[in-house]
């Protein structure tokens, strides 16, 4: 890998899995971080969800017991995703291919320590991602005029957070917290653009550079294919480092009721860069590959505001709710790609996304009996994607989720947490240039399972 730092931090953890990436969930983000939150519909702002709380509201670390805790977890994601051409009935289904994508596994690793009024934590958590694999023989791999290319259509986006969190109990009611996250983001992409898509991008001023007239000068241009991929569990075709962070607080309105608020800042991640190949597809000249360097510019994770409440009904029952506003509109306007060939010729492409800001409601309940805590929840979100800009390789369209899970306390020092989340099937159609040539209808559902072991000492 290009960055030595990612090796000791992630590869050692990910070595226990054969494949490591994320599938589409709530756009590009997990519904909840850690099994406790995931089992309660993603709610996490106003109650103790363990070490994973540093990914939503770091102030909740002060709701943990005094002492130290080690957290080791894993999420397994099983996506049911296909792209259908509604005119012809043809289907491109996302499938497992070697160790590059799916079925997906994502690790969690953290250490927390609470002493008196101060709680500290450090961890490694996946924040989100996307993974698709349509192969090289579906209708998505045909250029304009039905020309079969044999070229792949696929994607993988992985965002890892390494949060350093602190929480301070101001008094018996108010707690404040903050985290500074080191972030690593990586992308694989194999995408074919038909000649009509290329023409639409050029005509709207979304494609420019010295390679534009070269493509236009080919005798019978049918499309262009962009490829930057590493077929490895973690290493990707283009990657970058950056920072993020969040602020949070909790307020005990009464012995039974806790209020919470948290704000996660928009990330500041550098441009993802790596080796790439741009292949021009021509009916006369054939396929003309150009080697070079890719830059995916200003691809950021959005800011997010969370407001939450938890209420303990009695010794056995607790309920919780979060309302979140995710500011996708500012973060996801375009996919801004720059390619520079080894010869020095270049092309810049702006694929429109124009995401909408998203509102989410997470609801959860927990019931404790003996060594067991049983949980259930649901999450409902507005749609962030626009149908006219949906891409086949990034169809994060699910908006309704159900969840269930449990904790089993082996001893006062150790416990096992489990969560299952189901994303109910959602459909969306796009027949608009420039993001698709053939009309497409995405159909996406998903199941995920989370496991975590925590040990106190």
Domains of the chain: 6-456 (2.40.160.60)
Spatial distance between the Cα atoms of 101 and 233, rounded to a whole number of angstroms = 8
pLDDT-based confidence at residue 411 (cuts at 50, 70, 90): very high
Locate 70 and state its tokens: 């080690």
Least confident of 20-34, 146-160, 223-237, 307-321: 20-34
Distance, in Å, from the CA atom of 108 to the CA atom of 101, rounded to the nearest integer, reads: 18
With CA atoms as reference, report the closest residue to 398 among 450, 429, 444, 332: 444
CA–CA separation, 33 and 54 (whole Å): 9
> How many angstroms separate the most distant Cα atoms in the chain?
76
Contacts of 262 (CB under 8 A, 6+ apart): 45, 56, 57, 58, 59, 246, 247, 248, 249, 305, 306, 308
| Residue 164 bridge partners (DSSP) | 122, 180
State mean pLDDT over 348-353. Answer: 97
If you average pLDDT over residues 343-352, what whole number do you get?
97
pLDDT digits (tens, 9 = 90+) for 368-410: 999 999 999 999 999 999 999 999 998 889 999 999 999 999 9
The pLDDT assigned to 395 comes to 87
Which of 176-185, 228-237, 247-256 is predicted with the least confidence, judged by mean pLDDT?
228-237
> Residues near 146 by Cβ (< 8 Å), separated by ≥ 6?
none
Q: For 168-197, give one letter per residue: b (16+ CB within 10 A) or e.
A: bbeeeeebbbbbebbbbbbbbbbbbbbbbb
DSSP per residue, 43-55: --SSS--GGGGGG
Work out the average pLDDT over 416-445.
Answer: 96
Residue 3 pLDDT more than 50?
Answer: no
Residue 102 has what pLDDT?
A: 59
Q: What span, in angstroms and rounded, lies between the C-alpha atoms of 263 and 326?
A: 10
DSSP 235: -
**Residue 207 clears pLDDT 90, i.e. is over it:** yes
Closest CA to 51 of 62, 43, 41, 40: 62
More confident call, 448 vs 96: 448
Q: What is the mean pLDDT of the chain?
A: 92
**More confidently predicted of 13 and 256:** 256
Rounded CA separation 187/240 (Å) = 9
44-to-57, 149, 323 alpha-carbon distances in Å: 7, 47, 10
Instruction: Answer whether residue 5 shows pLDDT above 80.
Output: no
pLDDT at position 10, please?
38
Residue by residue, DSSP assigns 183-206 as EEEEEEEEEEEEHHHHHHHHHTT-
Percentage, residues of the chain above pLDDT 90:
84
Q: Determine how β-strand 286-297 pairs with β-strand 304-312.
A: unpaired
* Bridge partners for 274 per DSSP: 294
Q: How many helices (H) and strands (E) does the chain have?
A: 6, 24
pLDDT, one tens digit per residue, over 280-327 is 999 999 999 999 999 999 999 999 999 999 999 999 999 999 999 999
Burial of 346: CB neighbours in 10 Å, binned 0-12, 13-18, 19+: middle
pLDDT in tens, 87-123: 999 999 987 654 445 567 788 999 999 999 999 999 9
Residue 14 pLDDT exceeds 60: no
Please compute the mean of the pLDDT values over residues 252-266 and round it to a whole number: 98
Q: What is the spatial distance between Cα 126 and Cα 124, in angstroms, rounded to a whole number? A: 7
Element (H, E) at 135: none
Q: 18 pLDDT exceeds 60? A: no
What is the reported pLDDT for 29? 80
| Nearest of 35, 58, 38 to residue 46 by alpha carbon | 58
């Amino acid at each position: 890998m290009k960055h030595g730092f990612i090796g000791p931090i992630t590869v050692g953890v990910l070595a226990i899995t054969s494949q490591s990436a994320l599938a589409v969930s709530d756009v590009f983000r997990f519904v909840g971080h850690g099994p406790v939150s995931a089992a309660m519909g993603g709610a996490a702002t106003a109650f103790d969800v363990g070490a994973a709380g540093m990914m939503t509201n770091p102030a909740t670390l002060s709701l943990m017991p005094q002492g130290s805790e080690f957290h080791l977890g894993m999420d397994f994601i099983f996506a049911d995703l296909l792209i259908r051409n509604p005119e012809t009935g043809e289907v491109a289904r996302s499938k497992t291919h070697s160790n590059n994508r799916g079925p997906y596994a994502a690790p969690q690793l953290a250490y927390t320590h609470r002493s008196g009024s101060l709680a500290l934590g450090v961890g490694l958590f996946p924040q989100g991602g996307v993974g698709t694999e349509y192969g090289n023989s579906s209708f998505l791999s045909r250029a304009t005029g039905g020309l079969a290319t044999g070229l792949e259509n696929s994607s993988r986006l992985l965002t890892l957070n390494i949060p350093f969190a602190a929480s301070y109990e101001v008094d018996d009611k108010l707690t404040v917290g903050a985290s500074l996250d080191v972030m690593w983001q990586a992308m694989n992409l194999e995408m074919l653009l038909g000649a009509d898509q290329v023409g639409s991008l050029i005509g709207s001023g979304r494609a420019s550079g010295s390679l534009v007239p070269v493509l236009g000068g080919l005798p019978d241009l049918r499309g262009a294919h962009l490829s930057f991929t590493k077929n490895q569990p973690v290493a990707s075709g283009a990657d970058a480092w950056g920072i993020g962070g969040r602020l949070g607080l909790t307020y005990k309105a009464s012995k039974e009721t806790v209020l919470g608020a948290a704000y996660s800042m928009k990330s500041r991640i550098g441009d993802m860069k790596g080796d790439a190949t741009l292949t021009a597809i021509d009916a006369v000249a054939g396929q003309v590959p150009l080697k070079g360097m890719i830059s995916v510019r200003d691809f950021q994770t959005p800011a997010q505001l969370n407001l939450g409440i938890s209420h303990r009904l009695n010794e056995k029952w607790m309920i919780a709710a979060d309302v979140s506003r995710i500011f996708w509109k500012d973060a996801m306007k375009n996919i801004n790609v720059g390619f520079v060939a080894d010869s020095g010729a270049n092309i810049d492409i702006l694929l429109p996304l124009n995401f909408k800001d998203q509102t989410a409601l997470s609801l959860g309940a927990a019931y404790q009996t003996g060594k067991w805590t049983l949980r259930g929840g649901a999450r409902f979100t507005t749609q962030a994607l626009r149908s006219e800009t949906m891409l086949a390789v990034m169809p994060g369209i699910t908006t309704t989720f159900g969840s269930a899970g449990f904790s089993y306390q082996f001893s006062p020092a150790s416990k096992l947490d489990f969560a299952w989340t189901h994303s109910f099937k959602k459909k969306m159609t796009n027949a608009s240039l420039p993001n698709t040539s053939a009309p497409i209808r995405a159909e996406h559902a998903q199941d995920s399972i989370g496991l975590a072991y925590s040990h106190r000492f």
